[in-house]
Structure 1
């Protein structure tokens, strides 16, 4: 299940790169891609929740989950700007991406 979550997060990250590139160039990101990015992130988090509930998981799973959950909250904050038809602060975009990468790498460390 960890492998599936990592694959889903990796695909979401590709979309996130496209979204961030738009914002960093002062353009609005495509709404459909934003929604897909959020959906994939949510599916990945749900898979991690299932793993955590089943028990017997490494501490890195919990740490990665918490970091990615914080990144997801940042994503909701970014989406709120999109809904208000405003560009989000670039610093928040970078922080969201950095947290997501750290969370992903925390999980990925388990498969190395």
Structure 2
């Protein structure tokens, strides 16, 4: 289960990198469909990871990773509601924080899954 979660997060990360590129290089917000696909893939991975951590007895680092992904998800929802839906430029600092937390969570998940 954790390995499938890794794959889902990896796909979400590709979307996240594309969105960060759009924000930092093109100086505009990414399209809504890309943000929604990113969130859907990440939430699917998080759901699977939480199930594996809480029910199936995954290692403790998987649960810590899930908690960090929950934090990253909260920041992502805030970015969407505060900036994206209001059609104002996404905060670059918040985008970087969101990505940094997700990267740490992903590294912990890799450790737990493999």
- What TM-score comes out, normalization by structure 1 length? 0.95
Give structure 2 stretches of 5+ with no counterpart: none
d(CA) in 2 for partners of 1:56 and 1:43?
19
1:8 aligns with 2:14: no
What are the Cα deviations for residues 72-109 of structure 1, in whole angstroms up to 9, with x where unaligned? Answer: 00101111210000111100000000111100000101
**Unpaired segments ≥5 residues, structure 1:** none
Superposition CA RMSD, Å = 1.1
In the TM superposition, residue 56 of structure 1 has moved relative to its aligned partner by 2.0
Structure 1 stretches of 4+ with a deviation exceeding 3 A read: none
Normalized against structure 2, the TM-score is what?
A: 0.93
Alignment: residue pair count = 112
Once the two structures are superposed, the pairs formed by residues 39-50 of structure 1 within 5 Å of their partners are: 39-50=40-51
Matching of residue 23 in structure 1 with residue 23 in structure 2: yes
Find the aligned partners of 1:108 and 1:53 in 2 and give their Cα distance.
17
